[in-house]
Amino acid sequence: MIIKSLSVRNFRNIASADFIFDPKVNIFTGNNAQGKTNLCEAISVCFGKSFRNPKTGELLPFGSTEKETSIEMCFTFDNISEKENTIRYTQKKNTADLKFNGIDMKDAEKLYGALRYVLFIPEDLYIVKGDPSKRRDYIDFVSNMINRVHNLKLYEYNKALKQKNNILMNMSIYDNNAGIMLESWNETLAKLGVNVMCGRIKYFDMLSEAAADYYDMINGGNEKLSLCYESSVMGDKKFTAEDFEMMYDIYMKKLRETSDRELRMKYTVVGAHRDDVSFFVDNMPAKDFASQGQIRSIAVALKLAEAKMIKDKSDDVPIVILDDVLSELDGYRRGFIINHIENFQVFITSCNLADTDKFSDGRIWNVKNGTFDLIEV
Ligand code: ATP
Ligand code: MG
């Protein structure tokens, strides 16, 4: 999709702003706390939900007497079609309303499918350098993005895991029946756990390949990125999403092997909830060895891979929002991001105008105190 224009009224520190966007690259530069992320958020609101999860009423400007926030976004589904569509968001004190060409958004989604955007925010760096749970969440998010039943599988697994852990809490290590009692829970967990792992691994190669390609482009081919799904159950044994039976057998064996430890620790020590993803740059684990710029480049490569997956797996072409993406990147990497992301309309924010000195084709705004001035490129 291509966002043609956007009008924002009474949204956080943006009293009133109107934009005609470039179909390729749009950059917003300005000092801290001027309204760059607020604008990115305003765009996300038009897609159904703010990425900041605000409380009711938080979007209205502080202390303002205005009673209504409104955002209107005009877009085409692709670069060729002439037909413009409109999404209009309005929020009064306690009520919010989102309409697509005048139809309630939920009904419109049934007609047109969900509109999608891909977002990089600095918190995404934790996908690479944070706890394993951040990476699991990310892989689950990507899996669910392509296959909407993934979250349901995950929900069922987590429910069964919680139930088994509750039983472990109340079980004694000396209980002679422990093994028998745990067996049926293990069967359920192994089945649901393999389901979750298969859901994750199914699109993992696709994500890995696309992320490696983008990483190549970002750094000019000097370093190689690779991803590896690390399973607490399967260890070094290779598996694909088709190996359900084999995985189930190994899963059961592993649960039986670890039952003493489980009884002592009082929780399930192996399974889909303990899996992780490793990122390697030139075969070195990124979590331990990558520089700030490399970590940022990996996170951006993942986000662009996400956009490519949406495009390849559905008819949707998402827009890409990269908030505060350029800091810590060298000139070459910045040059790629501002000039060479193809196939997607991109929105980029930066604190430093100098970071965009090589910008060659698109529109750039200076942001100050919630106002946006278009600069000649
Ligand atoms: P940075 O470069 O530090 O990320 P930014 O330009 O992205 O800065 P924003 O996150 O867009 O900054 O925030 C701009 C300002 O808007 C902040 O000072 C913030 O406190 C303010 N702000 C947030 N919510 C509201 C609101 N409801 N009303 C008025 N101002 C708000
Ligand atoms: Mg910001």
CATH number of the domain where residue 36 is located: 3.40.50.300
Residue pair 90/61 in contact by the 8 Å Cβ criterion:
no
Mean pLDDT of 108-116: 77
How crowded is the C-beta side of 229, counted as CA atoms within 13 Å? 27
Q: How far is the CA of 350 from the centre of ligand 2 (A)?
A: 8
pTM of the entire predicted model: 0.94
* DSSP per-residue letters across 220-283: TTSS-EEEEEE-TTTTT----TT-HHHHHHHHHHHHHHTHHHHHHHTS--SSGGG-EEEEEETT
- 242 inside domain: yes
pLDDT tens per residue, range 36-59: 999 999 999 999 999 999 987 889
pLDDT for res 369: 98
Could you tell me if 134 and 281 lie in one domain? yes
Whole domain around residue 8: which residue ranges? 2-116+316-375
- Residue of 8, 31, 36 to mutate, ligand 1, most atoms within 8 A of C-beta: 36
pLDDT at 377 over 70: no
**Distance separating alpha carbons of residues 318 and 309, to the nearest angstrom:** 10
Which is more confidently placed, 188 or 115? Answer: 188
Q: Is the CB of 15 under 6 A from ligand 1?
A: no
pLDDT for res 177: 78
Could you tell me if 326 and 280 lie in one domain? no
Residue type, 284: M
Could you tell me if 211 and 142 lie in one domain? yes
- Residue of 27, 34, 71 to mutate, ligand 1, most atoms within 8 A of C-beta: 34
Could you tell me if 112 and 245 lie in one domain? no
Q: How confident is the model at residue 142 (pLDDT cuts 50, 70, 90)?
A: very high
pLDDT at 227 over 70: yes
Could you tell me if 6 and 45 lie in one domain? yes
pLDDT at 176 over 80: no
CATH number of the domain where residue 243 is located: 1.20.1050.90
**Distance separating alpha carbons of residues 47 and 307, to the nearest angstrom:** 15
Last residue of a domain, one of 254, 289, 324: 289
- 304 inside domain: no
Residue type, 351: C
Ranges 165-179, 211-225, 290-304, 346-360: which has the least confidence:
165-179
Mean pLDDT of 229-249: 95
Q: How far is the CA of 36 from the centre of ligand 2 (A)?
A: 5
pLDDT at 113 over 80: no
Q: How confident is the model at residue 323 (pLDDT cuts 50, 70, 90)?
A: very high
The two structure tokens encoding residue 134: 């951040």
- 323 inside domain: yes
- 305 inside domain: no
- 294 inside domain: no
pLDDT at 5 over 90: yes
Mean pLDDT of 135-161: 95
Percent of the chain with pLDDT over 90: 82
Give the CA angle between residues 176, 182, 188 to the nearest 5°: 165
Taking each helix axis as running N to C, give the angle between helix 204-219 and helix 178-202, from 0 to 180 degrees, rounded to the nearest 10.
Answer: 50
Could you tell me if 8 and 153 lie in one domain? no
Percent of the chain with pLDDT over 70: 99
Q: Which of 64-78, 85-99, 123-137, 170-184 has the highest mean pLDDT?
A: 123-137
Q: How far is the CA of 34 from the centre of ligand 1 (A)?
A: 6
Q: What is the number of domains present in the chain?
A: 2
Nearest ligand to the CA atom of 350: 1
pLDDT for res 179: 78
